[in-house]
Chains A and B, each alone.
Chain A
Amino acid sequence: DIVMTQSPDSLAVSLGERATINCKSSQSVLYSSNNKNYLAWYQQRPGQPPRLLIYWASTRESGVPDRFSGSGSGTDFTLTISSLQAEDVAVYYCQQYYSTSITFGQGTRLEIK
């Protein structure tokens, strides 16, 4: 299985500041035939199911605020929240779908400083 490793495990950022979460895969999730990275990001608030934020590593899902952005390629990816809002307190997960055996990162807990 492809192992997804996120860093840091937890993060505290002041309101209005930038938050950056990293995700590294144990092998490339870039599919050469279409030059797409098979990587998604989710947000999970307490007591709720995950919410899709980003797919193809950088494409924002409809309705997701533009302060959320994804970047990276191959094995190294980043989720950035440009200006942290109170409602962004959550756990964030990356997920690869390059392999049919789906795997998630361990999660990054984002809090307000």
Chain B
Amino acid sequence: QVQLVQSGAEVKEPGASVKVSCKASGYTFTGYYIHWVRQAPGQGLEWMGWINPDSGGADYAQKFQGRVTMTRDTSISTAYMELSRLTSDDTAVYYCARPYCNSTSCHIWFDTWGQGTLVTVSS
């Protein structure tokens, strides 16, 4: 079955960077973009951007530009999201998600989500 499995929880100090992984299985990894969405404790969902696993191209929400980098390793069907210069406001659960695609087009609603990775930023 289609599955996205994320790396485990992280604790980081302010100013550090974190890299979260998202391993895909059950489908052709290069056939679907991977998006990242985060959720601060008790808060709503915030879209961060996407990566095209086929080309490696990426696009980021304006809020995160200059601080986020999304990459992939096609040999192990894994996408990565790295966020730098962390502050306490970056404490959140980070999700990877796959948009819907059929044979002719893709649309950005998310029918598959990873389990989430809690990143805690604290000194």
Chain A, interface size category, equals 20 to 34
- The reply to whether B109 and A106 form a contact with Cβ atoms under 8 Å apart is no
Interface of A (DSSP majority class): loop
**B-side binding surface: helix, strand, loop or mixed?**
strand
Instruction: Give the contacts of A51-104 with B (CB-CB under 8 A).
Output: 51-52, 55, 61, 93, 95, 97, 100-104
- What is the number of contacts between chain A and chain B, taking CB atoms within 8 Å? 47
Q: A49-B115, A49-B116, A100-B59 given as contacts; is B45 within 8 A of A93 (CB)?
A: yes
| Chain B count of residues within 8 A CB distance of the other chain | 20
Q: Are B109 and A105 in contact (CB under 8 A)?
A: no
Which chain A residues lie closer than 8 Å to B45 at the CB level?
42, 50, 93, 95, 104, 107
Q: For the complex, is B111 an interface residue (Cβ under 8 Å from A)?
A: yes
| A110 interfacial contact with B, CB 8 Å | no
A51 vs B109: C-alpha distance in the bound complex, in angstroms? Answer: 11
Asked if B47 and A103 sit within 8 Å, CB to CB, the answer is yes
Q: Kindly supply a per-residue 1/0 record for chain B positions 80-123, scoring 1 wherever the CB is within 8 Å of any chain A CB and 0 otherwise.
A: 00000000000000010100100000011111011110000000
Spell out B's residues near A (CB within 8 Å): 35, 44-47, 59, 61-62, 95, 97, 100, 107-111, 113-116
